[in-house]
């Protein structure tokens, strides 16, 4: 990371403070991630209400989530490349402000097509935001604290998945889905003020330092991290997307809320552990993460009908997965240096491909061979991720 660039754009008191974590600014970034994930996932918990109000089927409401993912997938790389020369805070404020706009449209729209377009642009803003967060967090601190800063900035995503989405679903049921999205707009406006107040501004990347996508991809360590990202996220989403039918052999399909709560709590513990150790043990933590998840999958090969084993392996899975985003984004930021934002946009794209691929592959496996095939597929993918991590010396 180019420290001279950071120091030249920061007042003296901020430059001096880079040896400690600027928690308020980092938590503002985490809140941006929280709002992003909540915006993405909320329709999934409010399908009946939204479908009835908009006059469409629940399946069509489900496409609001699909269009969001497509927006992120298509926009992350080109938008990040196009805005590399922009100053960072105004760009961050535009990405966050976009959510206030699209959530307002969603809250007041009575037209399904307009809502669908708003969701597509929500995904576009999300793709840009996720490409910015890790690089932004790493520039706010000294190099030896970059991993911990990224871990704090990434805290919003797992919190949204484990706590925010159920809370958003409850809120939507209690006060209506439109008011829920309006509340999201209000929170976003507060966040804009918070970011303007507590998050420092940085210069964009100068033209002479900008590398092409192929050059960034050719940097040592970039391709292995992206491969691990794809295989790991693909494996995770095969299991996570179809967790309900996966619980049937153990007779605990009705306990899906408890199972997901176990996963969420373990993921939060993982984030804390990773936050403490990431700057000194990044490679080892990634190896442990791949190993834990692979071990969990292999255990399910033999004891898929045991409720006790399911709960244990789900806890191990959550422990493995919780800090994954911080680990991968820190590894990528360290490998990419000044091209961190461009590399992160690739990670956002690959991550979304893993999500989409997991849904598709899991559906094919479910229809073809049933849920008993899931552990084999997951274990195979995780072993590939583990072998890649072990062979790559540039993850450190």
pLDDT digits (tens, 9 = 90+) for 112-166: 999 999 999 999 999 999 989 988 998 999 888 988 998 899 888 878 877 776 7
Tokens 């049933």 found at? 370
Rounded Cα–Cα distance for residues 165 and 183 (Å): 14
Contact 83, 204 (CB under 8 A): yes
What is the average per-residue pLDDT within 191-210?
89
Q: Which domains does the chain have, with CATH numbers?
A: 3-209 (1.20.1250.20), 213-391 (1.20.1250.20)
Is the pLDDT at 344 greater than 80? The verdict is yes
Give the three-state DSSP class for 212.
coil
**CA-angle at 40, arms to 63 and 233, nearest 5°:** 95
Is the pLDDT at 5 greater than 60? The verdict is no
Residue 248 has what DSSP assignment? G
Rounded Cα–Cα distance for residues 217 and 223 (Å): 6
Residue 133's nearest CA partner among 293, 348, 302, 336 is 348
pLDDT in tens, 324-343: 988 999 999 888 888 888 89
Residue 268 pLDDT class (50, 70, 90 cuts) = confident
Rounded Cα–Cα distance for residues 49 and 326 (Å): 35
Rounded Cα–Cα distance for residues 62 and 57 (Å): 9
Q: In this predicted structure, what is the pLDDT of residue 6? A: 39
Q: What is the mean pLDDT of the chain?
A: 87
- Residue 84, C-beta contacts closer than 8 angstroms, at least 6 positions apart: 204, 205, 210, 341, 342
Is the pLDDT at 8 greater than 60? The verdict is no
pTM of the full structure: 0.82
What is the average per-residue pLDDT within 293-319?
90
What is the average per-residue pLDDT within 15-21?
64
Residue 252 pLDDT class (50, 70, 90 cuts) = confident
Quick one: tokens of 48?
């009946």
Quick one: tokens of 270?
């993982």
Least confident of 161-165, 168-172, 186-190: 161-165
Residue 393 pLDDT class (50, 70, 90 cuts) = confident
CA atoms within 13 A on the CB side of 371: 18
- Percent of the chain's residues with pLDDT above 70: 94
Contact 218, 224 (CB under 8 A): no
Question: Higher confidence at residue 103 or residue 155?
Answer: 103
Residue 285 pLDDT class (50, 70, 90 cuts) = very high
Contact 268, 162 (CB under 8 A): yes
Is the pLDDT at 224 greater than 90? The verdict is yes
Helix (H) or strand (E) holding 16: helix 12-16
**What's the maximum distance between 2 C-alpha atoms anywhere in the chain?**
62
Least confident of 12-26, 218-232, 373-387: 12-26
On the 0-12 / 13-18 / 19+ scale of CB atoms within 10 A, 393 is exposed
What is the average per-residue pLDDT within 381-392?
94
Rounded Cα–Cα distance for residues 214 and 157 (Å): 29
Residue 272's nearest CA partner among 178, 155, 170 is 155
What is the average per-residue pLDDT within 196-213?
85
Is the pLDDT at 189 greater than 90? The verdict is yes
Rounded Cα–Cα distance for residues 77 and 213 (Å): 9
Residue 227's nearest CA partner among 313, 286, 285 is 286
Rounded Cα–Cα distance for residues 60 and 69 (Å): 15
């Amino acid at each position: 990371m180019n420290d001279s660039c950071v120091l030249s754009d920061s007042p003296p008191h901020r430059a001096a403070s880079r040896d400690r974590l600027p928690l308020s600014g980092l938590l503002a970034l985490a809140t941006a991630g929280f709002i992003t994930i909540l915006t993405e996932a909320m329709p999934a918990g409010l399908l009946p209400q939204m479908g009835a109000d908009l006059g469409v089927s629940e399946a069509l409401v489900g496409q609001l989530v699909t269009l969001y993912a497509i927006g992120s997938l298509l926009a992350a790389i080109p938008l990040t490349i196009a805005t590399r020369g922009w100053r960072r805070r105004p760009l961050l404020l535009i990405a966050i402000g976009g959510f206030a706009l699209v959530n307002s449209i969603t809250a007041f729209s009575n037209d399904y097509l307009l809502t669908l377009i708003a969701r597509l642009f929500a995904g576009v803003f999300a793709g840009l935001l996720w490409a910015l967060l890790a690089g932004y967090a790493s520039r706010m601190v000294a190099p030896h604290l970059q991993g911990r800063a990224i871990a704090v900035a990434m805290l919003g995503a797992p919190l949204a998945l484990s706590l925010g989405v159920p809370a958003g679903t409850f809120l939507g049921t209690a006060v209506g889905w439109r008011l829920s999205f309006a509340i999201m707009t209000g929170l976003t406006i507060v966040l804009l003020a918070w970011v303007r107040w507590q998050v420092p501004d940085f210069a964009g990347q100068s033209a002479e330092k900008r590398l092409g996508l192929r050059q960034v991809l050719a940097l040592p360590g970039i391709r292995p991290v992206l491969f691990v990202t794809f295989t790991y996220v693909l494996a995770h989403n095969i299991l996570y997307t179809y967790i309900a039918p996966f619980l049937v052999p153990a007779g605990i399909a009705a306990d899906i809320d408890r199972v997901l709560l176990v996963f969420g709590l373990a993921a939060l513990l993982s984030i804390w552990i990773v936050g403490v150790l990431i700057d000194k043990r990044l490679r080892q933590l990634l190896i442990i993460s791949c190993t834990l998840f692979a071990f969990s999958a292999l255990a399910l090969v033999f004891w898929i009908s045991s409720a006790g084993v399911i709960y244990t392996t789900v806890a191990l899975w959550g422990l493995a997965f919780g800090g994954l985003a911080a680990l991968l984004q820190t590894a990528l930021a360290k490998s990419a240096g000044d091209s961190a934002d461009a590399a992160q946009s690739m990670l956002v794209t690959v991550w979304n491909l893993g999500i989409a691929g997991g849904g598709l592959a899991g559906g094919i496996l479910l229809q073809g061979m049933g849920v008993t095939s899931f552990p084999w597929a997951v274990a195979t993918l995780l072993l590939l991720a583990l072998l890649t991590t072990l062979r790559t010396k540039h993850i450190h």
